[in-house]
Amino acid sequence: MSTTITISSNSPIIIRHDGPANGHSGAITNGYVNGDSHTGLIEYANSVTTNGNNAHFSAEAGLNDAPDRIKFAYWVPNVSGGLVISKIPQKTSWDYESNVRYAQTAEEVGFEYALTQIRFMAGYGADHQHESVSFSQALLHNTKKLNVIAALLPGPWNPAVAAKQIASIDHYSNGRISVNIVSGWFKQEFTSIGQWWLEHAERYRRSREFIECLKGIWTSPKFSYKGDFYQFHDYPLSPKPLDLPGRPHPLIFQGGNSIDARENGAHVSDYYFMNGNTLEGFQEQIADVKERARKLGREDQIHFAVNGFAIVKETEEEAIRLLSEIQGKADKEAVNAFANATKQAGSSTENKKGMWADSKFDDLVQYNDGFKTKLIGTAEQVADRILLLKSLGIDIVLIAFLHYEDDIQNFGEKVLPLVRKLEREGRGKDVEDEIRRTGDVYRAKRLIEALESLKEPRPLEFAHRDFGFTSQISLAVQNSPPHFSDSISPPSIDMSLCFLKYL
């Protein structure tokens, strides 16, 4: 059944689906408002309101009903400077009013989680920082369904204070508060406020004790604990967090990449956060943490979340061009300062597997390796890659954006409903199938492998992130050395930094 609606210029229109959500989809086609054409997919749409040139999309509750769905979270920009260390203009604000608007938009379009950041002082351009727990409570007060994950930093926070804060907020928000325990990487942030700066392994050991104390305080009638960092003697927290089905306490997130971080994830965390990585890197890390958890009888208790930076455009070329611009306008001084500060958290670890241990300059422009997750392209490409992540065992995708004013809404309208549609069709379950569909984008393919895969001479296009241009490689004869039309010699190009596409 189709319906044609004729409206006058500048008139608001509301297209509403009031029937059952499951299996229903529709499309707005050839809709003109103020002379502009509006075409978009309505999948589980509760309402799409267009007034002038401004469209508003709301996702229906059925969008997130499937129990095995992959979930979406977004980084809360409660510190200034946005989510990239770049001088590119950003339509992203760190103030309270803007963040309330972002949270309400995210909730409406289907995001289920938001993660606030913890900073006690400026770092890599984040000159202003709102405190994470109180900011989380403010966002919860202004939303109805969104679960907000508040970042906590052991050292500045005592687990008794944190446990009481979070338990109270759990009551105020009807069980919508979670915590992310960060072990810290910024030495000056500790020393400036009179906190001891511990070496990497000791920081993670303190974090494990911190989490053990949180869980014990929240679940024990009287909590006692004797650790190297914290001691408790029959401490009776009251009220406890809400007693909700399947949730003994507020969810505990914790991340990293080192062996210390993986051990913490296996022993005490509900969710293990990962930075962006290669396909093989994701597979290795998930398998390792699961095996460590299995030995402790916790394999079914640990879940995985991954950081990503999303650029969704009408064409892949447009998305890659914007990525190149972000990286090309990087704040070099701030990125290098960040790189130096993270050495303790990455390459200085004993096994060289810490966070940022193998991150290059371009990776660090998004400070949790979000570009590596490659949510960059068309809505269809990004949806495919999200389903690959799901098939690997990832439960939540944590997303950052360049322009929060527009990009949350855009992602919710174009990508999230498409992911749900493909999930209903059975996608995201067969890891080999998903790797076959889109896995190559996560691999650093050598040029010779690309040449050998060609059946006939065709030009090969690539966009190199270091230079921000598109080059044509002309192939006159199969397997012959390529000719670079822009005079860049092959040895000067790191193909692992390229997006390859056959024309």
Q: How confident is the model at residue 214 (pLDDT cuts 50, 70, 90)?
A: very high
DSSP state of 477: S
Please write down the long-range contacts of 330-336, taking CB distance under 8 Å and 24 or more positions apart. Answer: 330/85, 330/86, 330/87, 330/361, 330/362, 330/365, 331/85, 331/86, 331/87, 331/124, 331/125, 334/85, 334/124, 334/125, 335/85, 335/124, 335/361, 335/364, 335/365, 336/361
pLDDT tens digit sequence for 290-307: 999 999 999 999 999 999
Residue from 84, 152, 160 nearest 117 by CA: 152
pLDDT tens digit sequence for 79-135: 888 888 789 999 999 999 999 999 999 999 999 999 998 877 766 667 888 999 999
User: Scanning the structure block, which residue is given the tokens 């455009």?
Assistant: 313
pLDDT of residue 351: 57
3-class SS at 197?
coil
- CB-based contacts of 117, cutoff 8 Å, min separation 6: 75, 76, 77, 78, 79, 129, 132, 151
Does the pLDDT at position 497 exceed 60?
no
3-class SS at 323?
helix
**Distance between CA atoms of residues 442 and 33, nearest Å:** 40
DSSP state of 235: E
- Average pLDDT score over the chain: 78
pLDDT of residue 347: 47
Rg (C-alpha) for the chain, rounded Å, is 24
pLDDT tens digit sequence for 395-408: 999 999 999 999 99
Q: How confident is the model at residue 165 (pLDDT cuts 50, 70, 90)?
A: very high
The CATH number for 71-446, chosen from 3.20.20.30, 3.40.1580.10, 3.90.550.10, 3.40.718.10, is 3.20.20.30
Burial class (CB in 10 A: 0-12, 13-18, 19+), 219: middle
Q: Domain map of the chain by residue range?
A: 71-446
pLDDT tens digit sequence for 89-104: 999 999 999 999 999 9
> Stretch 42-48: mean pLDDT, rounded?
41
Lowest mean pLDDT among 259-273, 324-338, 446-460: 446-460
**Side-chain-facing half-sphere of 3: CA atoms under 13 Å:** 9
pLDDT of residue 161: 96
**Distance between CA atoms of residues 277 and 60, nearest Å:** 33
pLDDT tens digit sequence for 257-297: 899 999 999 999 999 999 999 999 999 999 999 999 999 99
- Position with higher pLDDT, 112 vs 453: 112
Q: How confident is the model at residue 352 (pLDDT cuts 50, 70, 90)?
A: low
